[in-house]
Amino acid sequence: MREKFHPVLLAVKETPKNELPILVSELTELLSLAVARLAAPAVQPEPDTLLDVEEAAHRLHVSEDYLYHHHPQFAFTRRVGRKLLFSASGIEAYISKQGGLTTWRHGARLGAGGRNETRTARTTRRRSRKDHAEVAARSMDTTEAPSD
């Protein structure tokens, strides 16, 4: 360990007397940082939560069937007896590693016409198209000249 600080010891020995107060203040700052690190409480990692297939599928934006069929390829899969569970922290790490939500998953999640789009969103979109068509038809009827 002393070998790491050999350059610092040389600097102390070779520093001119008129620059020693500056060196002492810098060493005091380093000492304060080291003491603060020693005094800080150790960070305890949070215990991992195991999720069921439904919650894991929701977080991954895939179907439950997909998870049942492809669970061996995921490192965050756990088996407790016959029950299939998934590590919450493992899923978060997997999503981070993949770069977050993919475009398809993000679009499906937001209801942008993907196959996971909710029925309500599809119905609303259809209604708005129908409303636009009706407004366009009415405007065409009023612009035509009356035929007498």
pLDDT digits 0-9 by tens, 83-95: 999 999 999 999 9
Give the domain extent around 59: 50-100
Domain annotation covers residue 31: no
Domain annotation covers residue 28: no
Domain annotation covers residue 59: yes
What is the mean predicted confidence (pLDDT) over 68-84?
92
The CA distance from 58 to 51, in Å, is 10
Q: What DSSP state is assigned to residue 12? A: H
Residue 52 banded pLDDT, cuts 50, 70, 90? very high
Report how many domains make up the chain.
1
Q: Which tens digits make up the pLDDT trace of 17-33?
A: 999 899 899 999 989 99
Q: List all residues 6 or more positions away from 108 whose beta carbon is below 8 Å from its beta carbon.
A: 61, 114, 115, 116, 117
